[in-house]
Every structure is written in C-alpha cells, then in structure tokens.
Amino acid sequence: MVSVSELGYLGLGVSDPKAWHGVATEVFGMQVVSGDGRSASYLRLDSHHHRIELRTDAKDDLDFAGWEVPNEDALQRVAQQLEDGGVSVTEGTRDEADQRRVLGMIKCTDPSGILTEIFFGHPVNPIPFHPTRPISGFKTGGMGLGHILVHVPDVDASVRFYRDLLGFRVSDFTDVATPAGVIRLSFLHCNSRHHSIAFMENATAPKRLHHIMFESNALADVGTGRDICIDRGIPIAVDLGCHMNDQMVSFYLANPSGYALEYGWGARTIDDATWQVEHYASVESIWGHPQLRQLAGGH
C-alpha cells in the first residue's frame, strides 16, 4: 500500500479575509501571500509557497484538504487504491494544479464529504520564510502543516477511508462518556506527527472543522502568541494545557470563522515500529486546558 506522506495544504472559505490576515500575522507570525485573482490570498509559514489558501466564502469552513505523496508514481498508485475501494477519482486540471502550485493532483470526496486532493511536487519558494513577528518558526518539514480535527457523521467510515485507502495508521481512540451519550474520537497519522487528522463523531455540528493545529519550534512562541491574544482581545477558546495523547502543550484561540486554531509545541512523535494503539476514556488533559476539563466533567 502507498501512503500519503503529509498534510500539504488546506483551502478555507472565509467571510472576512482581512480578519484572518490579522490573526495569522499578529498571533502566529505567518506571511500573507497575495492571490492571483482566482483566490483571495494565501498564508505562508515555511518554505512552501503557501500552506493555507483563503477564499472569500460565507461558509467559514473547510473547502478542501491536500495530502502530499512523494512523486507521480505514488499519485497514480493512490488513485488506483481509491478506485479499487470504490471511490470515484478525478484528475485535477492543469489550472487547478497551477492554483495549488503543485505539479499534479487527483480529487475525490471522503466519506464525510470533505473534498480531498492528493498531489505531488509542491514548489519550494526560493525566498526564505520571513515571519511577521519574531518567532522560531513552525514544525513542518516532513510532518506537514499541522493537524485538523473534523466533525464527521461516522468515525468508523472515516477511519476505514484514510487507513485502508490512503495508508494512514491509527494512533489512538478516545471514547468520552457524557450525559448526552458517548463522544467518539479517533486520531490518525501518516508520518511521525502524532496525528495529521482526527475525527469527532458529531452529525449536527455547525462547522466541519473543529480546529486546525500549527506546531511551533519553541514554547516561547506559543506563550507570546497567547499574550498577544490577551492584549488584543482575541478570545481564547481553551487555555494552556498538555494533551494526554500527543502530549502537546497548547492553547486554542477562536478564529474569525467561528472555530478554533490550536497553537502548540513539544508534541511526542510516533515511530511505527514500536507504536501501540492507545485508548482513552477522557479528553481531559495531563494539566491545564481548563475548558476541556469542564467538558470531561473533571476536577
């Protein structure tokens, strides 16, 4: 089986690109790269041309996710895996590939309706990334842009698609008992990052995206980002804490589209040769994340 190697890019429909630019530059130190008339703008955070494409769109949610494979041969083999699994695949047009700044891509829809693109050949930007505030930078490289947690109607169907057709491995499962019933989550990896995508079973959530996570190279970047949120009145949705599963120190801020951005540091990584799938009965953190602690009914 051929596996995708990393979360390469995300397309977000946003009603207020200017507000997004403000948060991206002021809190995270990302660069805004102007669009070309076909999309609103791009956000850059490493050597890639961009990692986030912002399109003006009132839905304020995920438009598409792009997963990278190493080369054209791997792209064709993933396309075959998808078709063998009964998924209809279309080849991206030259125009679409140009807009994503990639050499080639295919498109399909995942079981929860996410427009899913697989691509190879991202361009390396010869101009070094210049952060817009003094930060140490982002942990990307072979680990991709970060991770996303999405609401899906059927966690098992989503796990089967990403594991059996795109080559992901399960990191862990979480089942949280609440008075309203059990909330099921699962976390999957495609490289050493603990998870690049995670699913929370919720068929009625107003947004597909629960959050997008960006991992910093330095704890100080996260701490100063939190200071900036407090100084500028940007709401903190979940304050500082350390997750049980990926052991990331992070906080979550409310973004202009009404879901969250997680700013994290120091997560543990996965070695597939030794990793054993874990099971958690709570989303409670090792320390902190007080809003998650309340959700878990903890102390």
What is the length of the chain? 299
For the bound state, the minimum distance from the C-beta of residue 211 to Fe ion, rounded and expressed in Å, comes to: 6
- CB closer to Fe ion out of 75 and 209: 209
Only one of the segments 3-11, 17-25, 260-268, 279-287 lies at the binding site for Fe ion (rule: CB under 5 A); that segment is: 260-268
Question: Does residue 23 interact with Fe ion by CB under 5 A?
Answer: no
User: Which residue's CB atom is positioned nearest to Fe ion?
Assistant: 213
Other Cβ atoms less than 10 A from the Cβ of 184: the count is: 17
Q: What angle do CA 147, 152, 154 make, to 5 degrees?
A: 125
Nearer to Fe ion, 30 or 32 (CB): 30
Tell me the number of residues near Fe ion by CB under 5 A: 2
Number of H helices, E strands in the chain: 6, 18
Tokens of 194: 């603990």
Taking the C-alpha atoms of residue 79 and residue 162, their distance in angstroms, rounded to an integer, is: 13
- Residue 157's nearest CA partner among 203, 90, 207 is 203
> Which residues between 124 and 163 bind Fe ion (CB under 5 A)?
none
Least distance from Fe ion to the Cβ atom of residue 20, Å: 19
User: Judged by CB under 5 A, which stretch of 18-26, 36-44, 81-89, 206-214 contacts Fe ion?
Assistant: 206-214
- Residue ranges of alpha helices (H) inside the chain are 17-26, 72-84, 94-100, 155-164, 219-232, 290-295
Least separation in angstroms between CB 120 and Fe ion: 27
Asked if residue 262 binds Fe ion (CB under 5 A), the reply is: yes
CB of 39 or CB of 140, closer to Fe ion: 140
φ, ψ at 23 (rounded to 5°) = -65, -45
Q: Decide whether 56 or 294 has the Cβ nearer to Fe ion.
A: 294
| In the complex, minimum distance from the CB of residue 264 to Fe ion, in angstroms, rounded to a whole number | 7
Q: Give me the least distance between CB of 195 and Fe ion, in Å please.
A: 8
- Stretches 70-78, 131-139, 261-269, 275-283: which one binds Fe ion (CB under 5 A)? 261-269
Q: How far is CA 202 from CA 145, 150, 154, in A?
A: 25, 9, 8
Q: How far is the CB of 88 from Fe ion (least distance, A)?
A: 31
* 172 in contact with Fe ion (CB under 5 A): no
Contact 165, 158 (CB under 8 A): no
Nearer to Fe ion, 159 or 213 (CB): 213
Q: Which helix (H) or strand (E) holds 56?
A: strand 52-56
Q: Among 9, 270, 1, 13, which residue's Cα sits nearest to residue 120?
A: 9
- The 210-249 contact track toward Fe ion, x by CB under 5 A, reads ---x------------------------------------
The residue (of 68 and 262) whose beta carbon lies closer to Fe ion is 262
State whether residue 129 is helix, strand or coil: coil
Q: Tell me how far, at minimum, the Cβ of 207 lies from Fe ion, in Å.
A: 15
Is residue 13 within 8 A of residue 57, CB to CB? The reply is yes
Tokens standing for residue 219? 């704890």
Q: Which stretch binds Fe ion (CB under 5 A): 73-81, 167-175, 209-217, 281-289?
A: 209-217
Interacting residue ranges for Fe ion, rule: CB under 5 A: 213, 262
